């Protein structure tokens, strides 16, 4: 501690408290309890230790502050305003209003200075671990100055969520000593005291994860908080968990109870609380001049820190990706699983995309995610680009978000079915516009013997229903190349590559217009004016191709459309989409070994959807596919049926197969 804390520090802390209170009262909703209890630790961190420059929120050398308990966002908004980020008092007054810069939970990319989109409890813990990995990795590869520290404020709810256990366990293993958790140990959640459902020894839990643990007995004791943070920073070889005992809603009549957690309590309580904190109840959103001045020091301090950093840091590559050189797969290649093709692509990308790094949730040999020659990222070997996430799909995914938020280009892999274990973080990658490449192999019942517990059915529909994520299910090795190009070209949004376990024929680029796969959908082959259009994705494209052969023998002309990505296809011009799927051709059949939900969009009212609206079965993949109706014969039969139905004039029994 350089200079002693004084009355202005106390006034500053109470300013944060009253700003949070006024904002919640004005919005008539929100969470004042956490900001009021945790203001002192945030004050100490933001005035004495955190390295940031409010004038340049994207300064790469800054420390990261993650408010994992995102419901307490008025704490962060108040700090951002007071320290000079581009967030005005007017913005604070608009807390939680339409199009305001102060939404109900922090949103990365929306409010300057917000590092992570938090609110779903637990996510921020994983994001912080990802950022700490990024800090270590950048320092190891590009020099110490390229690294940074990460501080996360975490709550009881954060620590109850399983994802915090997954991420913290890995952080301990990795000995990330640039990571500090400040635990807002206030013993209160929405339902009441933590005695109701959360009684383990949290510090002991973190010690068991391999963290250094510290306790601050009084969350209002600035010197004790200061000493703990200083010790955490100095401590080497372990991340640090500081349990800070606080009083939720400090200053209010409801302090220390779950009533203080959320909601406006009305003008009377508001006035009473402000009086208790030494503030004039008639003044709203009031920032004393001395407090402005104290926090205002952050601008000069930040400018100096950044200037000094620029002198010492060497060049660091950015997340942008150069023109990629990826060898196409020859039409003579033996059939190859798209997961295997993806592995070969990653090996080629390794040298071309400097900040590419990634790993798998303990399925490396199955996901084909480790390029030859890449070292593991392990304690003492932080330059390694391969991440051993362990069996922690949710933690892996929240960590990948933190890596992407730090400017790296991460990929993270598991079996497609286990998307369900990771979905909250995958959703947030889209919401917070992070360019993670999600690799999901074993993409259908075609995976075979592992059976219905491992066979995805509804996962494609789930991802397609998620805004802003590009879902790409390639039909072969060459479409897999296209998928990777798309994924890395998207510098602001995530992509999910949905890959097969089973080998698939390689589509010869000399014969098929594979480059058009990048448009999400294209005519693979067929007659210009076909009787029927067969639409497939992934492995089932090959069924459509085989069905086309059968239909030819039956005198029915057809076209096969490969539709690896609905989202990319929807981005194409209307005229292109009409070229691929001409409106006048109503006889259409889709085939995809997954839930049928949504395919009506492409086959229309008179088409047929071949899919899977039940769970799979344990059997060899080809057997499971056959028994569950994924055969070329069935596709051809359905095609014939819809062609016949389409030829019945309207008013007739069109589309009724029994007629």
Smallest gap from Cβ 158 to ligand TPP, in A, equals: 6
In the bound state with ligand TPP, the residue whose beta carbon lies nearer, of 36 and 514, is 36
In the bound state with ligand TPP, the residue whose beta carbon lies nearer, of 123 and 178, is 123
Q: Which stretch in 73-81, 119-127, 128-136, 405-413 sits in contact with ligand TPP by CB under 6 A? A: 119-127
Q: Which stretch in 8-16, 187-195, 266-274, 355-363 sits in contact with ligand TPP by CB under 6 A? A: 187-195
In the bound state with ligand TPP, the residue whose beta carbon lies nearer, of 161 and 476, is 161
Three-state DSSP class for residue 574: helix
Smallest gap from Cβ 224 to ligand TPP, in A, equals: 20
Candidate residues 28, 89, 90, 190; the one interacting with ligand TPP per rule CB under 6 A: 190
Q: Which residues pair with 523 in a beta bridge?
A: 561
Establish if 186 lies at the interface with ligand TPP (CB under 6 A): yes
Smallest gap from Cβ 410 to ligand TPP, in A, equals: 23
Q: How far is CA 232 from CA 243, 607, 627, in A?
A: 12, 63, 60
The torsion angles phi and psi of 243, rounded to 5 degrees, stand at -85, 115
Q: Given the DSSP bridges, would you call strands 212-216 and 179-185 parallel, antiparallel or unpaired?
A: unpaired
Establish if 156 lies at the interface with ligand TPP (CB under 6 A): yes
Establish if 119 lies at the interface with ligand TPP (CB under 6 A): yes
Establish if 188 lies at the interface with ligand TPP (CB under 6 A): yes
Measure the CA–CA gap between 467 and 433, rounded to whole angstroms: 11
Candidate residues 74, 92, 121, 535; the one interacting with ligand TPP per rule CB under 6 A: 121
User: Residues 623-652: x/- map of binding to ligand TPP (CB under 6 A)?
Assistant: ------------------------------
Q: Edge to edge, what strands does the sheet with 532-536 contain?
A: 522-526, 558-562, 532-536, 588-591, 608-610
Task: Give the CA radius of gyration of the chain.
Answer: 28
Query: From the CB of residue 163, how many other CB atoms can be counted at a distance below 10 Å?
Result: 29
Smallest gap from Cβ 426 to ligand TPP, in A, equals: 14
Establish if 189 lies at the interface with ligand TPP (CB under 6 A): yes
Active site residue 378: no
Q: Which stretch in 18-26, 114-122, 277-285, 328-336 sits in contact with ligand TPP by CB under 6 A? A: 114-122
In the bound state with ligand TPP, the residue whose beta carbon lies nearer, of 34 and 643, is 34
Measure the CA–CA gap between 134 and 128, rounded to whole angstroms: 10
Candidate residues 261, 294, 394, 454; the one interacting with ligand TPP per rule CB under 6 A: 261
Candidate residues 120, 219, 343, 456; the one interacting with ligand TPP per rule CB under 6 A: 120
Q: Which stretch in 153-161, 278-286, 356-364, 648-656 sits in contact with ligand TPP by CB under 6 A? A: 153-161
Q: Given the DSSP bridges, would you call strands 336-337 and 503-504 parallel, antiparallel or unpaired?
A: antiparallel
Establish if 248 lies at the interface with ligand TPP (CB under 6 A): yes
Q: Which stretch in 15-23, 186-194, 267-275, 281-289 sits in contact with ligand TPP by CB under 6 A? A: 186-194
Smallest gap from Cβ 219 to ligand TPP, in A, equals: 11
Smallest gap from Cβ 34 to ligand TPP, in A, equals: 4
Spatial CB neighbours of 190, under 8 Å, sequence gap ≥ 6 = 258, 261, 262
Measure the CA–CA gap between 492 and 626, rounded to whole angstroms: 40
How is residue 615 annotated by DSSP?
-
In the bound state with ligand TPP, the residue whose beta carbon lies nearer, of 31 and 294, is 31
Q: Given the DSSP bridges, would you call strands 588-591 and 608-610 parallel, antiparallel or unpaired?
A: parallel
Longest dimension (CA), the chain: 90
Q: How far is CA 486 from CA 244, 473, 557, 571, in A?
A: 45, 12, 32, 13
Spatial CB neighbours of 504, under 8 Å, sequence gap ≥ 6 = 335, 336, 337, 338, 475, 476, 477, 538, 539, 542
In the bound state with ligand TPP, the residue whose beta carbon lies nearer, of 72 and 371, is 72
In the bound state with ligand TPP, the residue whose beta carbon lies nearer, of 186 and 368, is 186
Annotated catalytic residue, options 306, 393, 479, 640: 393
Query: From the CB of residue 278, how many other CB atoms can be counted at a distance below 10 Å?
Result: 11
In the bound state with ligand TPP, the residue whose beta carbon lies nearer, of 426 and 447, is 426
Q: For 149-181, what is the HEC assignment? A: CEEEEECHHHHHCHHHHHHHHHHHHHCCCCEEE
Establish if 30 lies at the interface with ligand TPP (CB under 6 A): no
Q: How far is CA 150 from CA 28, 132, 134, 350, in A?
A: 33, 6, 10, 27
User: Residues 520-559: x/- map of binding to ligand TPP (CB under 6 A)?
Assistant: ----------------------------------------
Smallest gap from Cβ 127 to ligand TPP, in A, equals: 14
Q: How far is CA 71 from CA 42, 162, 214, 256, 443, in A?
A: 15, 18, 25, 17, 36
DSSP 127-155: HHHHHHHHHHHHHHHH-GGG---EEEEE-
Measure the CA–CA gap between 493 and 401, rounded to whole angstroms: 11
Q: Is the dihedral of CA 62, 67, 73, 75 positive or negative?
A: negative
Instruction: Return the residue nearest ligand TPP (CB atom).
Output: 157
In the bound state with ligand TPP, the residue whose beta carbon lies nearer, of 121 and 643, is 121
Counting Cβ atoms within 10 Å, is residue 264 exposed (0-12), middle (13-18) or buried (19+)?
middle
Measure the CA–CA gap between 395 and 87, rounded to whole angstroms: 32
In the bound state with ligand TPP, the residue whose beta carbon lies nearer, of 262 and 502, is 262
Establish if 34 lies at the interface with ligand TPP (CB under 6 A): yes
In the bound state with ligand TPP, the residue whose beta carbon lies nearer, of 395 and 526, is 395
Measure the CA–CA gap between 494 and 470, rounded to whole angstroms: 6
Smallest gap from Cβ 35 to ligand TPP, in A, equals: 9
Smallest gap from Cβ 69 to ligand TPP, in A, equals: 5
Smallest gap from Cβ 72 to ligand TPP, in A, equals: 6
How many of the chain's residues bind ligand TPP (CB under 6 A)? 21
Smallest gap from Cβ 469 to ligand TPP, in A, equals: 20
**Within 59-98, which residues bind ligand TPP (CB under 6 A)?**
69, 71-72
Residues marked active site are found at 393
**Chain positions contacting ligand TPP, by CB under 6 A:** 31, 33-34, 69, 71-72, 119-121, 155-158, 161, 184, 186, 188-190, 248, 261
């Amino acid at each position: 501690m350089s200079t002693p804390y004084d009355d202005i520090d106390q006034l500053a802390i109470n300013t944060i408290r009253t700003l949070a209170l006024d904002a919640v009262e004005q919005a008539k909703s929100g969470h004042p309890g956490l900001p009021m209890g945790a203001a002192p630790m945030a004050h100490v961190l933001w005035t004495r230790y955190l390295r940031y420059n409010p004038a340049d929120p994207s300064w790469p050398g800054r420390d990261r502050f993650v408010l994992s308990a995102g419901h307490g966002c008025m704490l962060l908004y108040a700090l951002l305003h007071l320290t000079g980020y581009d967030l005005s008092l007017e913005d604070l007054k608009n807390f939680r209003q339409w199009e305001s810069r102060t939404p109900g939970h922090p949103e990365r990319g929306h409010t300057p200075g917000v590092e992570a989109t938090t609110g779903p409890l637990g996510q921020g813990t994983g994001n912080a671990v990802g950022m700490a990995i990024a800090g270590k990795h950048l320092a190891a590869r590009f020099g110490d100055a390229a690294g940074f520290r990460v501080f996360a404020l975490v709550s009881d709810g954060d620590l109850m969520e399983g994802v915090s256990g997954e991420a913290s366990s890995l952080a301990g293993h990795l000995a990330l000593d640039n990571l500090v958790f400040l635990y807002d140990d206030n013993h209160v959640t929405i339902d009441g005291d933590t005695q109701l459902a959360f009684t383990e020894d949290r510090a002991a839990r973190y010690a068991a994860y391999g963290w250094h643990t510290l306790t601050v007995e009084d969350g209002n004791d600035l010197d004790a908080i200061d000493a703990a943070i200083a010790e955490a920073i100095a401590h080497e070889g372990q991340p640090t968990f500081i349990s800070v005992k606080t009083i939720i809603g400090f200053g209010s009549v409801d302090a220390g109870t779950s009533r203080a957690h959320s909601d406006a309590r009305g003008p009377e309580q508001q006035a009473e609380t402000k009086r208790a904190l030494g503030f004039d109840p008639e003044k709203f959103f009031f920032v004393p001049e001395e407090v402005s001045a104290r926090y205002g020091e952050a601008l000069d301090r930040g400018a100096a820190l950044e200037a000094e950093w620029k002198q010492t840091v060497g060049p660091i590559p950015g997340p942008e990706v150069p023109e990629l050189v990826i060898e196409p797969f020859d039409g003579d290649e033996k059939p190859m699983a798209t997961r295997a093709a993806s592995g070969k692509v990653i090996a080629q990308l390794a040298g071309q995309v400097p900040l590419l790094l990634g790993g798998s949730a303990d399925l490396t040999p199955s996901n084909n995610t480790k390029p030859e020659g890449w070292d593991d990222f392990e304690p003492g070997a932080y330059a390694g680009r391969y991440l051993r996430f362990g069996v922690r799909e949710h933690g892996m995914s929240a960590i990948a978000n933190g890596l992407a938020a730090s400017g790296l280009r991460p990929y993270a892999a598991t079996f497609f079915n286990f998307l369900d274990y990771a979905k909250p973080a995958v959703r947030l990658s889209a919401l917070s516009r992070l360019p993670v490449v999600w690799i999901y192999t074993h993409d259908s019942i075609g995976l075979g013997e592992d059976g219905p517990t491992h066979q995805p059915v509804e996962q494609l529909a789930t991802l397609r229903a998620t805004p802003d994520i590009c879902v790409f299910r390639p039909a072969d090795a060459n479409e897999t190349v296209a998928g990777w190009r798309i994924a890395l070209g998207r510098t602001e949004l995530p992509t999910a590559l949905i890959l097969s376990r089973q080998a698939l024929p390689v589509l010869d680029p000399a014969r098929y217009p594979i480059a058009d796969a990048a448009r999400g959908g294209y005519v693979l082959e067929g007659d210009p004016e076909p009787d029927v259009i067969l639409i497939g994705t992934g492995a089932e494209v090959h069924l459509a191709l085989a069905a086309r052969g059968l239909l030819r023998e039956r005198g029915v002309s057809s076209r096969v459309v490969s539709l690896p990505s609905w989202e990319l296809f929807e981005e194409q011009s209307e005229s292109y989409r009409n070229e691929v799927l001409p409106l006048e051709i109503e006889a259409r059949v889709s085939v995809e070994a997954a839930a049928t939900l949504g395919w009506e969009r492409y086959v229309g009212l008179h088409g047929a959807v071949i899919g899977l609206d039940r769970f799979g079965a344990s059997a060899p993949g080809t057997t499971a596919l056959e028994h569950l109706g994924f055969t070329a014969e069935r596709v051809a039969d359905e095609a014939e049926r819809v062609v016949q139905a389409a030829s019945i004039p309207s008013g007739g029994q069109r589309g009724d197969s029994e007629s």
